[in-house]
Amino acid sequence: MTEQKTEPHWPLWEVFIRSKNGLSHRHAGSLHATDATMALQAARDVYTRRGEGHSIWVVPSNAITASDPTDKDVMFEPSESKIYRHPTFYDIPDEVGHM
Amino acid sequence: MYTQALNVKDEPTAAGDPVLEARFQAHVDAELKIEPNDWMPEGYRKTLTRQISQHAHSEIVGMLPEGNWITRAPTLRRKAALLAKVQDEGGHGLYLYSAAETLGTSREQMFEQLLSGKAKYSSIFNYPTLTWADIGAIGWLVDGAAIMNQIPLCRCSYGPYARAMIRICKEESFHQRQGYEIMMTLARGTPEQKAMAQDALNRWWWPSVMMFGPSDTESQHSDQTMRWKIKRFSNDDLRQKFIDATVPQGHFIGLEFPDKDLKFNQETQHWDFGEIDWTEFKRVIAGDGPCNKQRMKQRRAAHDNGRWVREAALAYAEKRRNREAAAKIAAE
């Protein structure tokens, strides 16, 4: 198996699938392929064997920029302290009815 | 389909950062998922990498005993179903390799570990598929045992593994049903067909029961994996659950289990069963089962024979990239 180490790796792709009921594309998993055409074909075989999707996106994994999990608090805490962004923050008399 | 509790010692937990470790454990205790870029103890990473990659190898090697019968399936219906099942196993292997890769081991490294014999895979695939009834027995018993093992893994603390297992479990139930249907058809057929089903059950029962791994009294690695919420139930609990579910199914189609000690215990409401031959289990795991050498030989041949395809696909992609780049320059 010595040639194993010299054999070049196939690039990694992330697969996103739009399910039949018209939702947004959603991350389904990843796979290895040499180019986008092959990634699409492989995604069809690997992730839609039971009619899971209507549309597939494939994206080279290294093209994704992700937030750093260690910055989670800094990134998301500000949205948690702003309760006035939620409708329940405001007092409206019941007599006004549904709003 | 097939994870197996192999009797491997816990990875020693290197003295890590106690603050990070405490935070990690609190996160796990709160039933929150660990995701690829989150901090995790080295032992957790190693244990999961080993478990997920062995699970992936089992799926891939598991294609061999069943693939053996695709061309000889008795009807077109059976052939189409078996083909779809074997294709699913390949897919399951791919989901699992992807999950393991998120822990930082490349797919090529994992292939290398399998092909060099360093990595283990489920002992069950080292038994031969001698008759068509074996395909029924595998679906019913082996996939049945796998489902018992895998359902709790859908709640595993590691996100990518849990998500892969949810997909796999959804697809797995067809496998078990098609297997049981094969057994049922044979058991209700001619006396020869029924005998064939009985013979398959006789040969596959004990290896299937062994799939749950060593008894809890022997198993060295349950505590830590339970604490990390990788594993949720003990080997013996899952084994008992499998036996309780399967025995009535066998009796329903008029088959006998090859265990004279098997009897329903009114007190415990469980099926009591006989002694498991652990020397056989250890022998097969260690590489001395009926088909270990053949399976590895076939996997290596498939990998070597596929090399030109992998190389050609890369060369073709590069040629296209170069052409596109050249066309771009020419257009400027």
Here the ipTM equals 0.84
Q: Which residues of B touch A12 (CB under 8 A)?
A: 101
Low-confidence ranges of chain A (pLDDT < 50): 1-4
Identify the pLDDT of residue B219: 65
C-alpha gyration radius of chain A: 22
Q: Does B106 lie at the interface with A, CB-CB under 8 angstroms?
A: yes
Identify the pLDDT of residue A1: 43
Tell me if B108 and A31 make a contact (CB, 8 A cut-off).
no
Does residue B105 contact residue B53 with C-beta atoms inside 8 Å?
Answer: yes
Q: Which two tokens stand for residue B11?
A: 């990875």
Task: List, as own/partner pairs, every contact residues B147-152 make where C-beta atoms lie below 8 angstroms and the sequence separation is at least 24, other chains included.
Answer: B147/B172, B147/B173, B147/B176, B148/B212, B148/B238, B148/B241, B148/B242, B148/B245, B149/B2, B149/B3, B149/B4, B149/B5, B149/B211, B149/B212, B149/B238, B150/B1, B150/B3, B152/B231, B152/B232, B152/B233, B152/B238
Bridge partners, residue A58, by sequence? A15
> To the nearest whole angstrom, how far is the Cα of B119 from the nearest Cα of chain A?
14
Identify the pLDDT of residue B221: 60
Tell me if B88 and A49 make a contact (CB, 8 A cut-off).
yes
Nearest chain B residue to A44 by CA: give it: B91
Name the pTM for this structure.
Answer: 0.89
Tell me if B111 and A12 make a contact (CB, 8 A cut-off).
no
Bridge partners, residue A91, by sequence? none
Identify the pLDDT of residue A2: 43
Give the pairing type, strands A26-32 and A12-18.
antiparallel
The 3-state DSSP class for residue B110 equals helix
Most B CBs within 10 A among A14, A19, A34, A73, hence the mutation to make, goes to: A34
Q: Does B39 lie at the interface with A, CB-CB under 8 angstroms?
A: yes
Q: Which residues of B touch A14 (CB under 8 A)?
A: none
Q: Which two tokens stand for residue B307?
A: 């090399």
Question: Among candidates B207, B198, B62, B78, which has minimal Cα distance to B133?
Answer: B198
Identify the pLDDT of residue A73: 82
Q: What Cα–Cα distance (Å) separates residue B157 from each residue in B4, B25, B85? A: 18, 10, 28
Nearest chain B residue to A31 by CA: give it: B98
E-state strands within A1-99: 12-18, 26-32, 55-60
> What's the rounded Cα separation, in Å, for the pair B265 and B267?
5
The 3-state DSSP class for residue B272 equals strand
Burial of B210 (0-12, 13-18, 19+ CB in 10 A): buried
Q: Which two tokens stand for residue A44?
A: 């069809």
Q: Which residues of B touch A8 (CB under 8 A)?
A: 314
Tell me if A46 and B95 make a contact (CB, 8 A cut-off).
yes
Q: What's the pLDDT tens digit per position in B61-91?
A: 999 999 999 999 999 999 999 999 999 999 9
Low-confidence ranges of chain B (pLDDT < 50): 1, 4-11
Tell me the residues of chain B between 288 and 317 that have a Cβ less than 8 Å away from chain A. Answer: 307, 310-311, 313-314, 316-317
Domains observed in chain A: 12-89 (3.10.20.520)
Q: Which residues of A touch B38 (CB under 8 A)?
A: 69
Identify the pLDDT of residue B15: 64
Identify the pLDDT of residue B286: 85
Tell me if B313 and A38 make a contact (CB, 8 A cut-off).
yes
Nearest chain B residue to A35 by CA: give it: B317
C-alpha gyration radius of chain B: 22
Tell me if A9 and B307 make a contact (CB, 8 A cut-off).
no
Tell me if B108 and A30 make a contact (CB, 8 A cut-off).
no
Tell me if A1 and B116 make a contact (CB, 8 A cut-off).
yes
Name the residue facing A7 among B108, B171, B316 (closest C-beta).
B108
> To the nearest whole angstrom, how far is the Cα of B309 from the nearest Cα of chain A?
11
Question: Among candidates B176, B94, B188, which has minimal Cα distance to B142?
Answer: B176
Name the residue facing B91 among A30, A46, A70 (closest C-beta).
A46
> To the nearest whole angstrom, how far is the Cα of A41 from the nearest Cα of chain B?
13
Q: Which residues of A touch B35 (CB under 8 A)?
A: 69
Tell me the residues of chain B between 147 and 166 that have a Cβ less than 8 Å away from chain A. Answer: 163-164
Residues above pLDDT 70, as percent of chain B: 94
Helix (H) or strand (E) holding B6: none
Q: Does B319 lie at the interface with A, CB-CB under 8 angstroms?
A: no
Question: Among candidates B295, B297, B279, B126, which has minimal Cα distance to B203?
Answer: B126
